[in-house]
Structure 1
């Protein structure tokens, strides 16, 4: 049966990815920072104990990443979904109203910026590097970066939804992650890998807020259909959950 590694699997998109992949027969390696506090995952494990494996993965801690990869032994991995990410350090209210009052020019917290970058870009890249031998041994050899239209420089410049301005920390890290995607796609193409960046849309999660447009089940269902159908011809693409190609 195919296997997938999912980071940030204890809530939001990551938890929904875990549910839906388990429902279709995949073996899931679910990464969370604090497994003992992942009650929703524990409930899934009670029903899917043979196919759900819960691991401690903290993307801000490179030792944690190395420990996880080593613990897999020589197990092949077909798909890596780099879902874990943060919008800010310590912030919890990302409603549409509050969204315009954080990460504002002139009031930027540069230490927090470094922390967001460490998790969203450096940690994600480090984990992917650590899992390359496992992915090379897998059948599908797919790497998915959960990005955002907010990381599109073209969309920001043209005033497309969402309009540019604000959210410097989050936007810049997603733009950087997009560049990592393009680089990896080029470096891994000869090995038969498919590396893509995916926009989940504006989803009702802790990060997306209650005002968001999509339910997690809909967004994730769309993404899984698109991801599982992707081929090496899609390598290096930025794709929305509904299949639309996005500008970098």
Structure 2
């Protein structure tokens, strides 16, 4: 296994399914879980332990856990970092939002992925790897139909962070590709198990995109079919 991927938020839903799919394609899977989840002996931990060669503990709301995880990972090359963990869309109505809720979604959905990109940057640079931020078409201003205000704002900010890092990487000669990827609307805890897309089909499509994108696609917003989405 000569390719290593770190999946941040890998013990459930898209993360667990992606971990399994990439392991089958001979990726060395490193997974992160929340310290609270691991401490609670959640059954999902055993599922990801069956797939991953290493489990790191990351709480995206606590920067020190990201720094500690990077230190534990060491100085090995990292071919791909996939930021999956996040908070979901609710509440629907704008007037139900509070400052606390909006801040929490921004911290987890935007700042957290930035921190993993920051602390694992040396590892990505060693491998001339890929930073994949799992976004959503809800983060597209062009496609906005209202509702889910804080979630949309946090994903739009994640998209901007992705593009900014892509340009920074290029300017600095890092040879790291940064991509925002919409995984499809699949049944997970984040979506309250509602869906419009089939999980297996979306995972297969995502794997194809993850393995095929490179510097030519850096700074783009793609969906699981490989199609470009509007900002």
Question: What's the TM-score once normalised by structure 1's chain length?
Answer: 0.86
SS at match of 1:120: helix
CA distance in 2, matches of 1:206, 1:174: 18
1:35 and 2:38 equivalent?
Answer: yes
Please show how residues 62-141 of structure 1 align to structure 2 within 5 Å.
Answer: 62-87=63-88, 102-138=91-127, 140-141=128-129
- The aligned residue for residue 220 of structure 2 is 237
Structure 1 unmatched ranges of 5 or more = 89-98, 157-163
Please list the CA deviations of residues 21-42 of structure 1 after superposition, one character each: whole Å capped at 9, or x if unmatched.
1111111110010224342342
Superposed, which structure 2 residues align to 1:21-32 within 5 Å? 21-32=22-33
Provide the rounded CA distance (Å) in 2 between the counterparts of 1:45 and 1:54.
Answer: 7
Q: How far apart are 1:105 and its partner, in Å?
A: 2.3
Sort the Cα spacing of 1:107 and 1:40 in 2 relative to 1 into closer, same or farther, 3 A.
Answer: closer
Quick check: 1:32–1:38 contact (8 Å CA) kept in 2?
no
Question: Structure 1 pair 105/16, CA: closer, same or farther in 2 (3 Å)?
Answer: same
Does the C-alpha gap of structure 1 residues 57 and 44 become closer, same or farther in structure 2, counting only changes over 3 Å? Answer: closer
Residue by residue over 1:13-67, the C-alpha shift from the partner in whole angstroms, topping out at 9 and shown as x without a partner, is 0111111111111111100102243423424534x5xx52111111011010010
How far apart are 1:169 and its partner, in Å? Answer: 1.1
Give the match for residue 187 of structure 1.
168
Could you tell me the TM-score, scaled by structure 2's length? 0.92
Unaligned runs of 5+ in 2: none
> Which protein has the larger Cα radius of gyration, Structure 1 or Structure 2?
1
For 2:205 and 2:45, the matched residues in 1 are separated by 22
The answer on 1:154 being equivalent to 2:145 is no
Q: Does 1:200 align with 2:183?
A: yes
Once superposed, what is the RMSD of the aligned Cα atoms? 1.5
Q: Which of structure 1's runs of 4+ aligned residues deviate more than 6 A? A: none
Q: Secondary structure at the match of 2:225?
A: coil
Partner of 1:80, secondary structure, is: strand
Distance 1:236 1:145 in 2: 11
Take 1:118 and 1:75, find their aligned partners in 2: how far apart are those partners? 28
Cα displacement string for residues 160-205 of structure 1 (whole angstroms, at most 9, x for unaligned residues): xxxx211111100000000001100100022211111001111111
Aligned to 2:130, which of 142, 146, 149? 142
Secondary structure of 1:14's aligned partner = helix
**Alpha carbons of structure 1 residues 38 and 54: separation in structure 2 relative to 1, 3 Å:** farther
Contact 2:176 2:215 survives alignment (8 Å): yes
User: How far, CA to CA, are the matches of 1:45 and 1:106 in structure 2?
Assistant: 41
Q: CA deviation at 1:144?
A: 0.3
Does the CA-based 8 Å contact 2:188-2:194 persist in structure 1? no
The number of aligned residues is 225
2:159 aligns with 178
